[in-house]
Amino acid sequence: SRVRIAMVQGQADPERDGVADYARHLTAALRDLGEEVVPVPVLGPREAAERLHALKPDLAHVQFAPSAFGFSARPGLLPNRVRGLRFVTTLHEYGWWASPRWVPGAVWRPLERARLWDRETWRFVPRSSAVLTTNAGHSRVLHERFGRTAVQVPLAPNVPDLGPADRVEARRRLGVPADAQVVAFFGFVHPVKGLRYLIEALARLRGAGRDRLHLLILGGFTSLALP
């Protein structure tokens, strides 16, 4: 039988937010598999709870990132407002934030060990039947705080597979020499993405004789997280 999934996410523009774009692609993929998926944009818990009560979904899948929720932890109260609904949370960002920031870590730790409260997601992680992460670092923080093992899903580019392309024509259009060794960076051009280290590494390699190396940057500059 078909499963009704509420895709709980921030009110973000997919063109300027990677998490929103990921949720859009995931929604389309699940629908292709025959599931019923309904996006539930949320900044506050009350309106989202009313929407979930009306939808009566089998599952609520939370796409969590602080920027997607306007750097507010209030959406993390949603599980308390919708009793009996099964939650699953994907952590797109984790391990660096707390709300409120002034509360010391010593206060959070016993609450997290008891699986009552999370300093970042509030009630999303404690109430979730499963937690997904995109990397080992987030999985490690989750295990240290809650003793939980995450389902790790490698982060993939949010682009469709368009099949084979004419490499010669693509390089000509982009101004890349035909014999170049191309390194591609995919994502927003932000200080936190580590792009500076990639540029420095390529410069050192070119200086060591790898003069055929070229860097191709694929991504925008303005996003909701760092406008």
Three-state helix/strand/coil letters over 99-164: CCCCCCHHHHHHHHHCCCCECCCECHHHHEEEEEECCHHHHHHHHHHHCCCCEECCCCCCCCCCCC
Higher-confidence residue of 186 and 101: namely: 101
The DSSP 8-state label assigned to residue 170 in this structure reads H
Which amino acid makes up residue 100?
P
pLDDT at position 161 is 79
Higher-confidence residue of 49 and 44: namely: 49
The H-or-E segment that residue 36 falls in is strand 36-41
Q: Does residue 149 carry a pLDDT above 90?
A: yes
- Report pTM: 0.81
Euclidean distance between CA atoms 227 and 222, whole angstroms: 5
Q: What is the mean pLDDT of residues 28-41?
A: 95
Q: Strand 59-64 vs strand 4-9: parallel, antiparallel, or unpaired?
A: parallel
Euclidean distance between CA atoms 114 and 178, whole angstroms: 59
- Cis ω on the peptide bond leading into residue 100 (within 30° of 0)? yes
User: CA nearest 88: which of 26, 28, 44, 140?
Assistant: 26
All residues at 6 or more sequence positions from 48 whose CB lies less than 8 Å from its CB, including other chains = 8, 40, 42, 75, 78
All residues at 6 or more sequence positions from 198 whose CB lies less than 8 Å from its CB, including other chains = 183, 185, 215
3-state secondary structure at position 200: helix
pLDDT at position 100 is 93
Euclidean distance between CA atoms 175 and 192, whole angstroms: 28
3-state secondary structure at position 65: coil
On the CB side of 69, how many CA atoms lie within 13 Å of its CA? 29
Q: What is the mean pLDDT of residues 120-147?
A: 96
Of 15-19, 45-49, 99-103, 110-114, give the lowest mean pLDDT range. Answer: 15-19
- In this prediction, residue 227 has a pLDDT band, given cuts at 50, 70 and 90, of low
All residues at 6 or more sequence positions from 11 whose CB lies less than 8 Å from its CB, including other chains = 41, 42, 43, 70
Percentage, residues of the chain above pLDDT 90: 65
* Location of structure tokens 């099949």: 163
